[in-house]
A = this chain, B = another copy of it.
Amino acid sequence: MQSERTIGINKENPILASLSKSAANKKKKRDSLLNTAFDLFTNQGIANTSISNIVEQAGVAKGTFYLYFKDKYDLRDRLIRYKASEILGKAYTALEATALTTLEDKVLFIAGNVISQLSDNRLLLKFISKNLSWGVLKHELVQITPGFEDDVNFVEKIQEAVKASDVKYRNPEVMLYMIVELIGSASYNSILNDEPMPIEKLRPFLMDAIRSIMRSQEIH
């Protein structure tokens, strides 16, 4: 699960190789702080993680932290956005490998994929908690490391799929908003506390709910 802990950094990346040595070193420190912070945040909670903890485990000096982040919460927010975008990206990539055609099928596929990812990684779920909101997804999806912003924008892709859909919806934006909120919120208790039931038992109900929300929004 190394990929879970290494954020947006690939040591064989040719782009990175082309950076000057000092810039690479700089990036290394930054990434070390990000990865370490994610580790600590997920394993012991944000409130229980001090900047001292982070720099110590990351192997950099305390003052260095302030060269890259305003404070602990600045770092946290960047992580949340990055991780949320990562989840959706993975789901979208998986979608592209399918032959699904209708928007309803696509949305259900992505929803299911996201739920699977979250239930496979409870620490991640706990961390991004209920922050997987539409607002975050829509406006704040950013590449965490400057210089790598050229990745695909998954939300844009989804919006394109909406436009391309044969079936039209009253307000696709709102529809997706409600679906995202429902998934994020309802999954949370189910995955973490098995309340009101384990996620695998809840899953078909959620799928039904999503489908019925979409159908109620169809324009004929």
Distance in angstroms from A147 CB to nearest chain B CB is: 23
The reply to whether B134 and A196 contact each other, CB–CB distance below 8 Å, is yes
Number of identical protomers: 4
Instruction: Judge whether A182 is part of the interface by a CB distance below 8 angstroms.
Output: yes
Instruction: Judge whether A101 is part of the interface by a CB distance below 8 angstroms.
Output: no
Instruction: Judge whether A143 is part of the interface by a CB distance below 8 angstroms.
Output: no
The reply to whether B189 and A133 contact each other, CB–CB distance below 8 Å, is yes
The reply to whether B174 and A202 contact each other, CB–CB distance below 8 Å, is yes
Task: Determine which of B182, B195, B211 lies in contact with A135 in the assembled complex, contact meaning CB atoms within 8 Å.
Answer: B195
The reply to whether A186 and B197 contact each other, CB–CB distance below 8 Å, is no
Residue total for A at the interface (Cβ-Cβ under 8 A)? 35
Instruction: Judge whether A181 is part of the interface by a CB distance below 8 angstroms.
Output: yes
Task: Determine which of B138, B185, B205 lies in contact with A185 in the assembled complex, contact meaning CB atoms within 8 Å.
Answer: B185
Task: Determine which of B47, B133, B174, B185 lies in contact with A181 in the assembled complex, contact meaning CB atoms within 8 Å.
Answer: B185
Q: How far is the CA of A125 from the CA of B216 in the complex (A)?
A: 28
Instruction: Judge whether A167 is part of the interface by a CB distance below 8 angstroms.
Output: no
Instruction: Judge whether A206 is part of the interface by a CB distance below 8 angstroms.
Output: yes
The reply to whether B174 and A205 contact each other, CB–CB distance below 8 Å, is yes
Q: A residues touching B (Cβ–Cβ < 8 Å)?
A: 47, 130, 133-135, 138, 170-171, 173-175, 177-178, 181-182, 184-186, 188-189, 193, 195-197, 202, 205-206, 208-209, 211-213, 215-217
